[in-house]
Structure 1
Amino acid sequence: MTTREPDTQAEATGPLETFRRFFALERDVLVLSLAMFAFSLGFQMTNRFLPEYLVALGASGFVVGLFGTVGNIISAVYPYPGGAISDRIGSRYSLTLFGLVSTLGFVVWLLAPDLGALSVAGVTIRPWLWLFVGLLLAQAWKSFGLGATFAVVKQATDPSRLAAGFASTETFRRTAFLVGPVLAAVLIGLHPAFTVSFRYVLAVAVGFGVVGTLAQHFLYDASEDTIGDSFAGVGEIRRDLREMPAALRPLLVGDTLVRFANGMVYVFFVLVVTQLYEVGLEATVSVAGFSYALDLSPAAFFGYLLGVEMLIALLVMAPAAKVAERVGLKPVVALGFAVYAVFPIVLINAPATWGAMALVFAFSGVRFAGLPSHKALIVGPAERGAGGRVTGTYYLLRNTVVIPSAALGGYLWEFVNPELAFTIAAAIGLVGTGYFLVFGEEFEAYA
């Protein structure tokens, strides 16, 4: 791989410059990013707190792991048909449909405590089971719409600028990842009972889902959509698997191992803070001569930790995408993989103090440096009109293998100990990172 020479006039990088360029993007990418912002607010206000919600409704640690595994199944099953639907009917209508279904999922989560324990054919349905039902719906925009979002960016971006294109949309979307958990933390602090305060969060998420769906349906310009062939069934899946660009295979193997490792422990991050360490924040802050007393519960404090994580992510994504234009995508992707891999062992061995937790989650934010380059490396080799299907195929393979990871992590968490679960996860992640470093290939436009 040859190193790219810097441009004669270096472009500014960073989140502010990315926002400036963001509003100069093609209209379809702009509207897509606005919808991403709305749905990401909804997801990030709710998703990272759902394990705590499950436990509050009576679920065990093992059930939390099963919840993560169901999420993995959805992530594996949804993207391929979602990509096929997007390639067939266009991004506008597919994303509108997926948005409506996701919003309905937020509603189910909101109503779960009211549904209570029901008896159907002699089988008692516990309140926490409704969270599984809501998950099947709420993941629709994120997972069904994955191929559509990749295809929209690809068709509007020059190949050599794919990482920058994804960085622009991702930076805007990840701003919601910063705002969402912090807003959730504020709402959670309004009532001492988590099952009450978290429903405030869910109600706001429903509103964001409605806004995102309407925005993408009425503002998106579908005139530039590329429509692929109709879906021909399981045989077409086999054909797409065979015809996946060869350059993606080493990336797929390394990525799968890293994601399997992350999947083992991801749903337990909130429980480490709220139950294992029980770390909140009690402090007095002085500003302009006025003193403010902070008394954050562990659940509320976790929201602010996620805000710290996303603040670092916003600061590093755009510069990392610019670096990728000079050194290639592979080194930047490998950096993100490495942080993914070691984070579990860093978290489980950190001191149980608010300062240590803030530093640990700030470190976690560095993993997002590789995200735009990772997406560019996935969709870059795809032919025009097939971006959604190639993306769907990639995630079908990766997420199918990752399916049992959360259940495995849940078993170790519940029946062995959390430390072993997090240590095994870190080891698997490091193997995946090493494999990609040795065998991973560069996308031609960045070579």
Structure 2
Amino acid sequence: MTRDSFVRLASGVERVGSEPATLALVTVGYTAAVAVTLRYAPAYLLALGGGPVALGAFGLVVLGVPVVYPALSAEDTALSGSFPAVTPLALVAAFGLLVWLLAPGIGGVNGHVLPASAWVLLVAPLVAVWPTAGYDAGLRAIRAVIGSDAGGGGDTLVRIVSAASTARLARPMVLAFAFAVSALTDRVTVVVGLLLAVTVTVGLGVTMVSVALNGRGGRLRGDDRPSLAAPDRSARTLVGRLQTAPRPIRTALVADVAGGLSVAAFVAFAPVLVLAVRTPAERVLWLDVGPVAAFALLLGLEAVAAAVAPAAGEVLLAATSRRATLALGLLAGVVAPLALVEPTPTIATDAVAFGLYGTRRLADPARRRLVDSLDPELAVAYRLAQPAARALAVVPVTAAYALAPEFAFRLAAFVAAVGVYELYRRQIRAAIGRVARGVAE
């Protein structure tokens, strides 16, 4: 960010007042805190008595909300860009997080009705709504209240907020807090409890600032993103549109679907594998760290990799092709689960696994360019098919995890490898044919 950008930003904040800047700050912080909390949640669920089925149900809920929410909401109406949309979304997620915080006590008192783990599952959709739609609504509300009075500074403010969330630059700060708490205690319930308390507080801050700004910000002035509400969203129409899509589009979608198992495995079961299935103390540089602190470091590495990967993907896309960029992103999803179940796991092998899991976002620029090139109806079908496949992938991953934790990750790696093969099927078959003809001759 150049000195002129800072000047424009300061001028813009001065013109619109400090409230939009405050909303921007708490929106980014809340999004990062909720994202980190969701990664710790499977281990928290296990500590409260949940088993493989509960973990799978949690993964299904978290990955399924992005599929269900657009169909139930008026996401692309004017309401979604106004403060009345931000306020309930922040408040609903904060309520869900508060129930998570109180779940051990609630389950202890009413365990015969609903155990603590059931309370976590019950409100999980409320928490998952914020990263699905809350940040988006917050950003568009900030843009709406800034209007045209802020000039370049307002635009700079919006760009900074967008970059901070998209690149996950705020997550390492939240993870630093989790690591500091983990230095005092290595109990998952205590660390997650403190993280939940902070996240609920930030969520209430988002709510209060958005309410205070309600009189200043009107409806969304317009959005340059393609609308997801205009095309027909019926399942039959979307499935039919995918079936009649050009072959390269269907091939890319099949490859993305295959990579969904890797995402499902990491969302639902990687925290449990690192924090509960194997819990060796490790030495990182000069520090002796327990599993919870190590997990914070691993998530930090993943966040950094996920922040850098899209920019690297842009460079790769310019130098190679869309298919090659997609394939490299999928390859990261192949190797990451295998590194996590290496026969002699250490924090180094886990770091490779989580780093590669973040690196899978190399494919984001190629995927975005692919979707932008589609007609609106097909773009909607593609966008909904991806999260739907990831949500459904939880089912086989859960079944595999119930048999053996390592089997779930090996299955995810194998299916992701099938996705890479799908991208290059013709070339691989042609190469095999040439080799076979050479041997026959």
- Give the shorter-chain TM-score range: 0.7 to 0.9
More displaced 10-residue stretch of structure 1: 318-327 or 141-150: 141-150
Residue equivalent to 2:173:
179
- Deviation of 1:43 after TM superposition, in Å, equals 1.9
The amino acid that maps onto 2:121 is: F
User: Does structure 1 residue 224 correspond to structure 2 residue 221?
Assistant: yes
- Deviation of 1:211 after TM superposition, in Å, equals 3.6
Q: Given that residues 188 and 300 in structure 1 are in contact (C-alpha distance below 8 angstroms), is that contact kept between their aligned partners in structure 2?
A: yes
Q: Take 1:369 and 1:168, find their aligned partners in 2: how far apart are those partners?
A: 21
TM-score (norm 2): 0.74
CA 98–404 in structure 1, closer or farther in 2 if over 3 Å, else same: same
User: Does structure 1 residue 423 correspond to structure 2 residue 410?
Assistant: yes
Structure 1 unaligned segments of length 5 or more: list them.
1-15, 153-164, 286-293, 384-388, 440-447
User: Does structure 1 residue 348 correspond to structure 2 residue 338?
Assistant: no
- Deviation of 1:318 after TM superposition, in Å, equals 2.2
TM-score (norm 1): 0.73
Residue equivalent to 1:332:
325
CA 117–376 in structure 1, closer or farther in 2 if over 3 Å, else same: farther
CA 252–240 in structure 1, closer or farther in 2 if over 3 Å, else same: same
The amino acid that maps onto 1:360 is: A
Q: Given that residues 335 and 369 in structure 1 are in contact (C-alpha distance below 8 angstroms), is that contact kept between their aligned partners in structure 2?
A: yes
Q: Take 1:411 and 1:340, find their aligned partners in 2: how far apart are those partners?
A: 20
- Deviation of 1:330 after TM superposition, in Å, equals 4.1
The amino acid that maps onto 1:87 is: T
Q: Given that residues 256 and 419 in structure 2 are in contact (C-alpha distance below 8 angstroms), is that contact kept between their aligned partners in structure 1?
A: yes
The amino acid that maps onto 2:47 is: A
Q: Percent sequence identity over matched residues?
A: 23
User: Does structure 1 residue 74 correspond to structure 2 residue 65?
Assistant: yes
Q: Take 1:229 and 1:423, find their aligned partners in 2: how far apart are those partners?
A: 38
The equivalences for 1:320-399 within 5 A come to 320-325=313-318, 327=320, 329-349=322-342, 351-379=344-372, 381=374, 393-399=381-387
CA 366–234 in structure 1, closer or farther in 2 if over 3 Å, else same: closer
The equivalences for 1:260-299 within 5 A come to 260-282=261-283, 285=286, 294-299=287-292
What SS class does the counterpart of residue 259 from structure 1 fall into?
helix
Superimposed CA distance per residue, residues 49-68 of structure 1 (whole angstroms, 9 cap, x where no aligned partner):
11111111111233212221
The equivalences for 1:431-446 within 5 A come to 431-437=418-424
Q: Given that residues 338 and 409 in structure 2 are in contact (C-alpha distance below 8 angstroms), is that contact kept between their aligned partners in structure 1?
A: yes
The amino acid that maps onto 1:104 is: F
- Deviation of 1:428 after TM superposition, in Å, equals 0.7
- Deviation of 1:103 after TM superposition, in Å, equals 2.0
- Deviation of 1:171 after TM superposition, in Å, equals 5.3
User: Does structure 1 residue 205 correspond to structure 2 residue 194?
Assistant: no
- Deviation of 1:89 after TM superposition, in Å, equals 3.0
- Deviation of 1:204 after TM superposition, in Å, equals 0.8
CA 190–377 in structure 1, closer or farther in 2 if over 3 Å, else same: farther
- Deviation of 1:401 after TM superposition, in Å, equals 3.5
Superimposed CA distance per residue, residues 200-238 of structure 1 (whole angstroms, 9 cap, x where no aligned partner):
110111123234455667487745225999979987565
More displaced 10-residue stretch of structure 1: 138-147 or 427-436: 138-147
CA 81–95 in structure 1, closer or farther in 2 if over 3 Å, else same: farther
CA 30–333 in structure 1, closer or farther in 2 if over 3 Å, else same: farther
CA 373–102 in structure 1, closer or farther in 2 if over 3 Å, else same: farther
Alignment length, in residue pairs?
398
The amino acid that maps onto 1:46 is: T
What SS class does the counterpart of residue 40 from structure 1 fall into?
helix
CA 410–238 in structure 1, closer or farther in 2 if over 3 Å, else same: closer
Q: Given that residues 62 and 407 in structure 1 are in contact (C-alpha distance below 8 angstroms), is that contact kept between their aligned partners in structure 2?
A: no
What SS class does the counterpart of residue 288 from structure 2 fall into?
strand
CA 119–99 in structure 1, closer or farther in 2 if over 3 Å, else same: closer
Q: Given that residues 187 and 198 in structure 1 are in contact (C-alpha distance below 8 angstroms), is that contact kept between their aligned partners in structure 2?
A: no
CA 166–321 in structure 1, closer or farther in 2 if over 3 Å, else same: farther
Residue equivalent to 2:125:
136
Residue equivalent to 2:77:
87
The amino acid that maps onto 1:133 is: L
User: Does structure 1 residue 56 correspond to structure 2 residue 47?
Assistant: yes
Superimposed CA distance per residue, residues 230-257 of structure 1 (whole angstroms, 9 cap, x where no aligned partner):
9799875655665679465443322122
Q: Take 1:246 and 1:220, find their aligned partners in 2: how far apart are those partners?
A: 41
Q: Given the alignment, which residue of 300, 311, 323 partners 1:318? A: 311
- Deviation of 1:71 after TM superposition, in Å, equals 2.4
Q: Given the alignment, which residue of 384, 409, 416 partners 2:397? A: 409
Q: Take 1:60 and 1:172, find their aligned partners in 2: how far apart are those partners?
A: 32
The amino acid that maps onto 1:346 is: A
CA 80–326 in structure 1, closer or farther in 2 if over 3 Å, else same: farther
Superimposed CA distance per residue, residues 290-342 of structure 1 (whole angstroms, 9 cap, x where no aligned partner):
xxxx3322012101111112223333332432443554544333322221232
CA 30–422 in structure 1, closer or farther in 2 if over 3 Å, else same: farther
Q: Take 2:381 and 2:176, find their aligned partners in 1: how far apart are those partners?
A: 34
User: Does structure 1 residue 106 correspond to structure 2 residue 97?
Assistant: yes
The amino acid that maps onto 1:347 is: L
Superimposed CA distance per residue, residues 383-403 of structure 1 (whole angstroms, 9 cap, x where no aligned partner):
5xxxxx877644433333433
The amino acid that maps onto 2:259 is: V
Bigger Rg, structure 1 or 2: 2
Q: Take 2:319 and 2:72, find their aligned partners in 1: how far apart are those partners?
A: 35
What SS class does the counterpart of residue 113 from structure 2 fall into?
strand
CA 319–231 in structure 1, closer or farther in 2 if over 3 Å, else same: closer
What SS class does the counterpart of residue 75 from structure 2 fall into?
helix
What SS class does the counterpart of residue 338 from structure 1 fall into?
helix
